Chain A
Amino acid sequence: MPIEYLKETPSQTGGPYVHIGLLPVAAGLAYGTQEQPHVLSGAGERIRIEGVVYDGSGHIVKDALIELWQADAEGKHNAGDFLGWGRASAAFDTGEWFFETIRPGIVPWRDGRPQARHVTLIIFARGINIHLHTRLYFPEDEAALEADPVLKSIEWVGRRKTLVATKVEGKPIPTYRLEINIQGDDETVFFDV
């Protein structure tokens, strides 16, 4: 009989009022210690990441909550003051969400190969029973995207582009947009990691 471990506590949906606990300002509550978690401060090139989440019928998911996790500008996690984590809500009217952060540096993969610069995004919402885990990559890193070990592990080459953001021109700081399709023909790649 194999060794038994404790079982992980099962996930449940965050529900429609997830903001009360995770982003009280969005729910209409004022709690001073949880202001602006979608703005990350740290040394490096300031960038903006924005997007919308769509359901399987092309409708905007207006109650999504997104968390971001990334390396600092040097490609390190927890090396200094940079928290590396952020949280943003879709706007209840338009479904638009955004982060202001710094461009992450290059993080080595398990075997030392460089990964393309990326941020990790996880999505919670009503109707999502266990959060969805994906990545956002930067379109100008063409050679690095070709060599990225995680992108290369996606057998369906055409699906890799669902993780590469679009540069939005004419903005005060470099701005990248990623539309996340939970379900359907252009379904975003989600990871089990």
Chain B
Amino acid sequence: MQHATSCWLRRGIRPAGGNMPMKLGDVIRRDRSSHPPALTPGYKTSVLRSPRRALISIEPGPGENAGPIFKASMLGPLENDLIRNYGKTGEAIGERIIVHGKILDECGRPVPNALIEVWQANAGGRYRHVNDSYLAPLDPNFGGTGRCMSDAEGNYFFRTIRPGPYPWRNNGSDWRPAHIHISIFGHAFVQRLVSQLYFEGDPLVPLCPILNTLPDPAARERLIAKLDMGNTVPFDALAYRFDVVLRGRRQTFFENKPEGH
């Protein structure tokens, strides 16, 4: 993860005006070039599920700059441990891994108290979902979902097993790379983000029609978790690092009346 060392906030530059108090203002406009377009025919389902009209741009109002406040007390004790949180007779089978990282905003500020939810297939690529009929078996001790909240420094972690690839009906038999779905709430509802993390070195990654909905190779690279040998648990689990960047907020320098419509 490259930090925004050029961001003036991190360099400690104060705007002209001296001691004028600053407060966090609007969420910064979403840079849609960081994201996949809605219509990406290589991913066939997007053809009929993409708007044909342009999005209508509006400024964020008070409701958009706010978001739900989740509390750690809403989570159970094992929710970030997918190896054990569905265990009936033992632990899940597979390659034991820690997935960890930091939730930041675009200005490099840590985002504490972010709710992070994940879901994934088991080691054989089978999802525990009523609609998944892939022939690989379910693991009786693996549910495939977890949740946690980032700490005061924006850090989070899960313990899980590395998911297997699985085939899907797109171009004949396309295969998804190993991936974990991830959902994050920042502090503003318009920071909401759902994405997927992939694993460094997986040869299916460059072939994936879903990852390739991102036209920019640098954007695709940001979804690849890196092997992190410094954070393995000896004789227990490998580690992967995956940092997440949510939209930033601008500083409110002046209490100008915004332009109306």
Q: Which of B204-253 contact A (CB under 8 A)?
A: 210-211, 213-214, 218-220, 222-223, 244-248
Report if A5-B210 is in contact (Cβ < 8 Å); known contacts: A21-B119, A122-B192. Answer: no
* Nearest CB of chain B from residue A188's CB, rounded to whole Å: 8
* A9 contact from B48, B132, B193, B257, Cβ within 8 A: B193
* A11 touching B195, Cβ below 8 Å: yes
* B62 touching A107, Cβ below 8 Å: yes
Stretch from A77-85, A95-103, A136-144 contacting the other chain: A77-85
Q: Which residue of the partner chain B has the closest CB to A132?
A: B51
State how many residues of chain B have any CB contact under 8 Å with chain A: 91
- Return chain A residues, CB-CB under 8 Å to B37: 129
Would you call A157 an interface residue if the criterion is a C-beta within 8 Å of the partner chain's C-beta atoms? no
- Return chain B residues, CB-CB under 8 Å to A32: 76
Report if A182-B50 is in contact (Cβ < 8 Å); known contacts: A6-B2, A14-B194. Answer: yes
- Residue-wise, chain A 16-30 has the 8 Å CB interface mask toward B (1 for contact) of 111111101001110
A113 to B59, alpha carbons, bound, how many Å? 14
Would you call A33 an interface residue if the criterion is a C-beta within 8 Å of the partner chain's C-beta atoms? yes
A6 to B5, alpha carbons, bound, how many Å? 9
- Return chain B residues, CB-CB under 8 Å to A57: 48
* B58 touching A13, Cβ below 8 Å: no
* A189 touching B261, Cβ below 8 Å: no
* A17 touching B211, Cβ below 8 Å: no
- Return chain B residues, CB-CB under 8 Å to A59: 48
* A14 touching B181, Cβ below 8 Å: yes
* B64 touching A9, Cβ below 8 Å: no
Q: Which residue of the partner chain A has the closest CB to B258?
A: A110
* Nearest CB of chain A from residue B84's CB, rounded to whole Å: 14
Q: Which of B47-104 contact A (CB under 8 A)?
A: 47-53, 55-64, 66-69, 74-76, 79, 86, 104
A29 to B85, alpha carbons, bound, how many Å? 12
| Pairs A–B under 8 Å by Cβ, sample size 5 | A11-B194, A20-B144, A21-B181, A115-B61, A190-B55
- Taking Cβ atoms with an 8 Å cutoff, the residues of A that contact B are 3-22, 24, 27-29, 31-33, 55-57, 59, 61, 63, 67, 69-71, 77-78, 83-85, 92, 107-111, 113, 115, 120, 122, 124-133, 149-150, 152-154, 159, 182-184, 187-193
Q: A20-B144, A69-B63 are in contact. List 13 more A-B contacts (CB 8 A).
A: A6-B3, A8-B245, A9-B222, A10-B219, A11-B194, A18-B194, A21-B181, A29-B143, A78-B69, A109-B260, A154-B56, A191-B55, A192-B55
